[in-house]
Amino acid sequence: MKRVIAYFLMIILCFVLQNTIFQALALASISPNLLVILTASIGLMRGKKEGMLVGFLCGFMVDIFYGNLVGFYALVYMYLGYMNGFFNKIFYDDDVKLPMLLISASEFLYSLIIYVFLFLIRTRFDFGYYFIHIIIPELVYTVVATIFFYRLINGVNRRLEKRTKRRA
């Protein structure tokens, strides 16, 4: 139960932070994607099911407030969470390289999906421009943000795990 509340709080916090402070901190009008960091981290740390559910909720929030097509972002984030869940088996608590790699890959995949489904489909063919001006900066910025946020999420996860172990 504590875990569910913690997830809810983290999702709301990330969503709100990303909409307000991180849009104000945007460099060259590019801001990092905290929701991808959260979804990928939970998927990696806790497995497919929880990653999927957290991703679904993250995407659903985006859909409700900003999406034209409700369900699209929910679907994208959900699959990101699920895919990261596959790597749960090789997850070690103190390893930072794997999460960094996975979050970068998730972020890249996310951008690619957005491009294909929301831009390419409307005959915006200039992939080179979008790649250099949106995808790469967002990726770099997200990786930088990961350094801070991954530790936070991992810390919360560790606490929650300790609690359940003590109860056992």
Partner 1 sequence: MRKKKRFSMPSKYLLLLLTLLCVGLMFVTFSASVSLSPVQTVSGYLIVPIQKGINEVGRWFSDRVDYRATIRELQEENQALTEQVNDLTIQNSQLVQDTYELSRLRSLYDLDVKYSEYHKVAARVIGKDPGNWFSTFLIDKGTDDGISVDCNVIADGGLVGIVTGVGKDWASVRSIIDDSSRVSSTVLSTSDGCFVNGDLQLMNEGEIRIVQLLDEDDKVAVGDEVVTSHISSKYLEGIPIGYIDSLSYDANNLTKSGTLIPIADFQHLHEVLVITDKKEMPSEVEGEE
Using CB under 8 A as the criterion, which residues of the chain lie in contact with partner 1 when the complex forms? 12, 15-21, 23-24, 28-31, 33-35, 47-49, 52-53, 56, 61-62, 64-66, 68-72, 74-75, 78, 82, 85, 114-115, 118-119, 122, 124, 126, 129-130, 133-134, 137-138, 164, 167-168
Beta bridge partners of 27: 30
- What's the full length of the chain, in residues? 168
> Which C-beta is closer to partner 1: that of 70 or that of 144?
70
> Which C-beta is closer to partner 1: that of 18 or that of 106?
18
CB of 154 to partner 1, least distance (A): 21
Per-residue tokens: 165: 């172990």
Contact 11, 65 (CB under 8 A): no
CB of 56 to partner 1, least distance (A): 6
> Which C-beta is closer to partner 1: that of 29 or that of 92?
29
CB of 156 to partner 1, least distance (A): 18
CB of 90 to partner 1, least distance (A): 18
In angstroms, what CA-CA distances link 13 with 22, 50, 64, 149? 12, 18, 16, 12
Amino acid at 111: S
Return left, alpha or beta for 28; rule: phi > 0 is left, psi -120 to 50 is alpha, else beta.
left
> Which C-beta is closer to partner 1: that of 89 or that of 97?
89
